[in-house]
Structures are given as C-alpha cells and as structure tokens.
Structure 1
C-alpha cells in the first residue's frame, strides 16, 4: 500500500510543483526556498536537535508554549521547526527570530525524507496536531528517532478520510512512540485508526496554556484611544471566501442601530486582502487598511487587517469577536485567542476543526453559535448593545482557561520520558 502511495506521489509531483509555482504567482513566499521541500538545506551544525513540525500559523501558535518549555528544559539542544506554508514560516520568525532553525518540511518522498533526516539529525520528532506522512513516519522508525504527535486532534471528517487508507495509516501510526491527544474523543478516533492504545494519553489542548498577552491588551487599549474609546467595535477574524460578504452585510445591519460602529476584518489568507478591501468599498463603506492607514480614523467604518500575525492586539481592541472558517465548511479557527482576552466569541455552524474547544466555550456560556450567515448581524448587534452580557461571557472564558490549563506540563512529562529512554 505504501509503495502504491509513493508511486502515486511521484506521478503527481509535476502537478504539485506546478501548483507550488502557481501559488507563488499570488504569494511570493512559495517561490523562495523551494529546494527545502525536497530536503536540500544546509545541514544543522550539531546533532541531537529537537524537531517540531507545525504545518502553518495556527499550529505554530499552538506549539508556542511547548517550544518555550522545551527551550527552558533543554537549553543546549538546538530547536528545529518545520512548517509547510510561508505564513507559518513568517510566524516562526516573528516568535523566535534566529534563536531556532527553520526549514520547510519536505514532500513525503523517500529520497527527500532521507535527505532531510540526514541533514537535520534530530534526537526527537514532534508533530503538532495531525500530520500523518507514511514515508516520514517509517523513516523515523527505521532510524530509531522517537516520534510524537502532540496536541493530537482528529475530527470525524478527517478520520473518514484516513479510513480510506486504513492499512497504510495503521502501519504509520504504529511507528509513533507517543500520541498526546487533546480529548477522549480524539484518543478514541486514533484507536479506531489503529494506533496502539498503550501509546495514547489524553493531555488536553496546548492552546489553553497560552499566557494572557498583557502586551496585546496594552496595544489594544492604545488602538481604542486612537479611533475613539467609546466606539462599538467588532472583529471578524480568519475569514474565508464565502464569509466576507455576509460579514460586510452584517455590518450594514449593525450601522443602522450604531452608526459609529467599526468593523475590523482579517482575512485568513493574504490572497483575500485586496478582494475584501474592494468588496467593502463597493458596498459603500469608508475603508482603511493596515498596510496604508495603519489605524482607522474616526470616520472610517471598515478596517481591513491586511497583515499577518497581528490579530491579538485587534482582538483586545474589539468588543465582540467572530471567528471565521465557521460560516463555510472549513471547520473553524482558533477560538481561544479572543477567549483568553475575555472577549465574547461568535462562531458559525462549522467548527469541526476545534470541536472540543468550541463545545467547551459554548457549554460554559463564553461563546455563541450563529446558525445562519443571515443572523450574524443580529447576533453582533445584540452583544454590542448589551455590555453586562459581554462581561459575563468574558468572565466565563477566564474560568474555562483556569480549569483547562496544564497540557504543556503533561506533554513535557511524556517528552522527558522518551528522551531519557
């Protein structure tokens, strides 16, 4: 089965490269360092690196507290971080600068994987969330490199996809030394896919261990002073095509009751920055952007955050946060970032990527689900007009964090045991 998988990957490689080139036409980061995707990079100067793979921005953010714990516990061990996307790479640079090594993860071709491992020479491999690459997993196993999946999550949808290749996936998972699952439901799905039950532990979600970003709160307060402290403000974050127009229409409803309201909108992908700006202008909004005006003025109604890695200060500056990827069947994005700042959270019906976290916040009364795109304006307006309700939701979010923290400590215990072995 793995041989057929590898053959199919080889046959698809010309199309994969063409796709890489096409994406590079829209986002230049895909044109740079493309050789790394085939395992070509300068070898690390020392052996025994701790290698952490985080596919993109969300996974890098989730891994941040764990990475800091590893750096503190093993100060002599070099940290190697791999990502797949340029935005993930940029987030690594923002968080850690030159204090860590970073390369792109190679394609799952045996030759590229062997080349990568020979140059990285890791002492431990840590995969954040769910990235099952059969050739990579088997190569680590053959070389005696302990492999962990941490913050492991597996939605029903993902499990059905992997189940189509159950034999190969089961074989790959048997190469894993430890799976640190987010929840009992995730652990059960890994068991169904064939992972060794003895190697699965429920450790909780690393994202609950993110510290309250005091600097973001300070920056948010400064932003509010610049555009008017009393203005009602809401943010639509990590939005996708199919969501931005409903968000802008919702803001039209909000403006009918609150004419000085401000919408902050942050598209998930850079290719959406300009289309969202043009859509807002075409609907008659007075628009400002992060790249040009930096901060919206008193007369501007929509502010497009056309930058990456700056969400937290804007969450802190908002009264209400809608988290995108949830009005369309993307599966939702990280609801914990606004929640850790005690902001009321709104999500759409599609939250299967963050099922457990979202259900936890909904059950605690810290978040509200918007069942239809047409109802978004009404939900936002209801919260903007009800400060006591917003305060209650924020307090409940703080209580959830106080209860759920501790995943990093539990995962570090597993890592320490593997490294001692």
Structure 2
C-alpha cells in the first residue's frame, strides 16, 4: 500500500504541473513550494492547516498557544494557496510556509529544518511520511477537531496504511462520540472528545465583530439576506430570490472572486440594482439605492453576517457546504444546499429547525417564504442557531489542558 500511496503523491504532483499551465491556483501551489526558503529553527511549535477554513478552525488553539507561550516560536504550514496567500503575514506565526509534498525525503528535510517541540494538525490532514518522521523522532503530534465517518479509508479492509498513520498520532481530539467509537473499533484509544474549535472561534467573533459602516449604509434598515461562499449553482438560485423580493437587500460573497467569476455573477442580476464592493467609492448614486452588493474581496464574510436577517451558505451543490457556524453565531437562520452530510453542525441545525436544506429553486422559495412571512418563526430559528453555538463552546480549553503537559 505504501507503494500505491507514494505513486499517488507523485501522480498528484504531475497533475499539478500540467494544470499549472492554465490554472492560477495550481501555478501558485507549485511555484510557492519551488521558491520558498525554509529557515533553520530550533524548538518551535508547528501548526499545519489544509487551507483558510482549517486555519480559522484551529485559530483558537493557535491563539491560546501564543498567549500561553509568548516567547515560543511558531511555524505555520498550509497545503493550499488559498490559505497561504491570505495568512502568510499573520502575526500569530514567526514563519509561514507551504507544506512540502509528502515524501520521505521532504519530511526529513523539513522537520530537520524547523525542529518542532510538538506539532498540531487540524481536522482532515493526514500525511504518512510527515506523521512517521515525527513519530520516529518522538515529537508529539496532535490532531484537533477531527471527525471520522464509517466510509473513510481508515475503516476499510484496504486501509491498513491509513490506520498505521493514526498510530503515529500522540493524541486525537475529536468532535463527537461517534468518532471516538470508530477509532476505538480499530484500537486507536488515545482519543478525547473535545468538540469542535470552530465554535470557540465563531462565538468569539460574534461577541466583538468588526463593524462595517458601509454595509450598514447599504442595508439602510431594510431586511438583508447574506449569501456567503457561493458557487455558480448557488448564485443562480439567489438571483431569482432578488427578483421575487425587491424589498429585501442581498449581499453576495462568492467563494471565488476572479474577474470572470464576478462578471458571471453580475450577468445573472439586474444591472441597475447591483454594485460591487470595489466600486462603491465611484458611485454616482447613493449606496442605499442598490439592492444587491457583490463582495469582490476576501476577508469580510465573517463580519458580514452580523447585518443579516437570513444567511444562505454556499457549496451545497458541489463538494460540500461552507461554514454555517459563522452565520449561526450571530443568531440568524441558515439555508444551504443538499451536500451537507459530512457536517455534523449542519445536521444539528436542521434537527433544531435553525438550519434548512434545499435541493431546488422551488424548495428555496418555500423556505425563504416561510422565514420572511413568519417573523416569529424566523427569529425563533435564529435564536436556536445562536444558542446552539453558545452551548458548544469549550473545545479549546479541553485541548489546551493536554498541550500544556
């Protein structure tokens, strides 16, 4: 199986090389690793994140470590350019790198260079050679906010290599009892149910959100739907809602903000009713005139939800929904597409009638009509969402008790 794993890593790199000729993200993935200079470090703490979402998920632990060990050097690595490009200058780290491709030689060289005291990986990142190298050197490795499902490779007859990876982990902090039981079924017992650190992150953000006066001006005391991390199938649905509800305001924050993506989104909407955030300074009309605001930058979404009455979370018609908790923390109901099965919090919100899943335009229309026409139902759903987030804080404290040892 290790031969197949190594071949898969090689094949992945080969595909990235081919894709880099026409894909900007692939080009950054490749060039970032080729050109980075990893400086020699002694006795650091190493945090690894797949991308920006995992960074925000693990951020409460990162901040707690920084506060508890103020003089300790911290190294952060990212797998994806979307995380690296946005957080490469974060003050929470002394250095930020791309994670080298997972080969035995790369793992040795990288760990030789940074010499971590211990390593913290978040949620889904499992890399055989890095895990094994840490294990061989007796460097503690922690995985936080992990979640496991029966259909994952760890629990298949052919998953021996991946089960071996888990034996290299010093301690796993999982989100729920089901994950712990699954791990125990394959004799992985160094497990603690801590919950999900994202609750700590979004709760803290909702207590002291960054104020955005321009968004308040755009809203102009009218009801507002915030559509976050949208993809084209989501945007086609939202465009229809904007026509059906002319008295509502809409803020749309696409997951991808390239010019072609923004132009496609704009083409779905009435031209005289839309404005892009980057164009606000050049408007000839008052901002309040416009019905739809397109956010064509990165970094505002977690603060936008404070102005919303309803949130639509994108990704549910693709590989999976994005972060529902950012919106729920502000006490507003959340609506999302059908691909949410991997997300425990989405299932919980649905069970509480604080979240609503839809499969089509017709279903979206029905849900939105219910929320808009019945104000007490809408506010009740939002209150349940906020309470759900509030009640599930505390994962960071559980994890820190172990890390302090």
TM-score normalised by L of structure 1: 0.86
Residues 296-324 of structure 1 show CA distances to partners (whole Å, capped at 9, x for unaligned) of: 82232322212112102211122110111
Q: What residue number does 1:85 align with?
A: 80
Deviates more, 1:56-65 or 1:288-297: 288-297
CA apart distance, 1:144: 1.4
Decide whether the 8 Å contact of 1:253 with 1:378 is kept in 2.
no
CA apart distance, 1:35: 1.9
Equivalent positions of 1:109-120 (< 5 A) are: 109-120=103-114
Q: Does residue 1:413 correspond to 2:401, yes or no?
A: yes
Residues 253-282 of structure 1 show CA distances to partners (whole Å, capped at 9, x for unaligned) of: 22xxxx2322211121234x6334334335
Q: What residue number does 1:333 align with?
A: 322
Unaligned runs of 5+ residues in structure 2 are none
Deviates more, 1:372-381 or 1:292-301: 292-301
Query: Given the superposition, is the C-alpha separation of residues 205 and 5 from structure 1 closer, same or farther in structure 2, using an over 3 Å criterion?
Result: same
Q: What residue number does 1:270 align with?
A: 257
CA apart distance, 1:30: 4.0
Structure 2 residue matching 1:216: 3-state secondary structure: coil
CA apart distance, 1:235: 1.4
CA distance, structure 2, for counterparts of residue 79 and residue 201 of structure 1 = 24
CA apart distance, 1:353: 3.1
Equivalent positions of 1:143-182 (< 5 A) are: 143-156=137-150, 159-160=152-153, 163=156, 165-182=158-175
CA apart distance, 1:293: 2.3
CA apart distance, 1:77: 1.5
Q: What residue number does 1:350 align with?
A: 339
Query: Given the superposition, is the C-alpha separation of residues 54 and 163 from structure 1 closer, same or farther in structure 2, using an over 3 Å criterion?
Result: same
Q: What residue number does 2:191 align with?
A: 200
Query: Given the superposition, is the C-alpha separation of residues 225 and 146 from structure 1 closer, same or farther in structure 2, using an over 3 Å criterion?
Result: closer
1:324 to 314, 330, 333: 314
Decide whether the 8 Å contact of 2:154 with 2:163 is kept in 1.
no
Decide whether the 8 Å contact of 2:20 with 2:27 is kept in 1.
no
Decide whether the 8 Å contact of 1:320 with 1:344 is kept in 2.
yes
Q: Does residue 1:216 correspond to 2:216, yes or no?
A: no
TM-score normalised by L of structure 2: 0.89
Structure 2 residue matching 1:280: 3-state secondary structure: helix
Q: What residue number does 1:380 align with?
A: 368
Q: What residue number does 2:235 align with?
A: 244
Q: Does residue 1:76 correspond to 2:71, yes or no?
A: yes
CA distance, structure 1, for counterparts of residue 31 and residue 10 of structure 2 = 22
CA apart distance, 1:28: 7.0
CA distance, structure 2, for counterparts of residue 313 and residue 121 of structure 1 = 37
Query: Given the superposition, is the C-alpha separation of residues 407 and 228 from structure 1 closer, same or farther in structure 2, using an over 3 Å criterion?
Result: closer
CA apart distance, 1:162: 7.2
Q: What residue number does 2:34 align with?
A: 35
CA distance, structure 2, for counterparts of residue 289 and residue 202 of structure 1 = 43
CA distance, structure 1, for counterparts of residue 97 and residue 58 of structure 2 = 16
Structure 2 residue matching 1:242: 3-state secondary structure: helix
Residues 52-103 of structure 1 show CA distances to partners (whole Å, capped at 9, x for unaligned) of: 1111111111111111111111122111111122221244247x33743210
Unaligned runs of 5+ residues in structure 1 are none
2:95 to 84, 101, 104: 101
Q: Does residue 1:230 correspond to 2:221, yes or no?
A: yes
CA apart distance, 1:117: 1.0
Decide whether the 8 Å contact of 1:21 with 1:30 is kept in 2.
no
Decide whether the 8 Å contact of 2:218 with 2:287 is kept in 1.
yes
CA apart distance, 1:12: 4.8
Query: Given the superposition, is the C-alpha separation of residues 378 and 336 from structure 1 closer, same or farther in structure 2, using an over 3 Å criterion?
Result: same
Decide whether the 8 Å contact of 1:288 with 1:300 is kept in 2.
yes
Residues 330-380 of structure 1 show CA distances to partners (whole Å, capped at 9, x for unaligned) of: 2211111011111221122211232x2112222333222224343213322
Equivalent positions of 1:278-297 (< 5 A) are: 278-285=264-271, 286-293=273-280, 297=287
CA apart distance, 1:121: 1.1
CA distance, structure 2, for counterparts of residue 64 and residue 339 of structure 1 = 18
CA distance, structure 1, for counterparts of residue 291 and residue 109 of structure 2 = 52
2:126 to 115, 120, 132: 132
1:50 to 45, 48, 52: 45
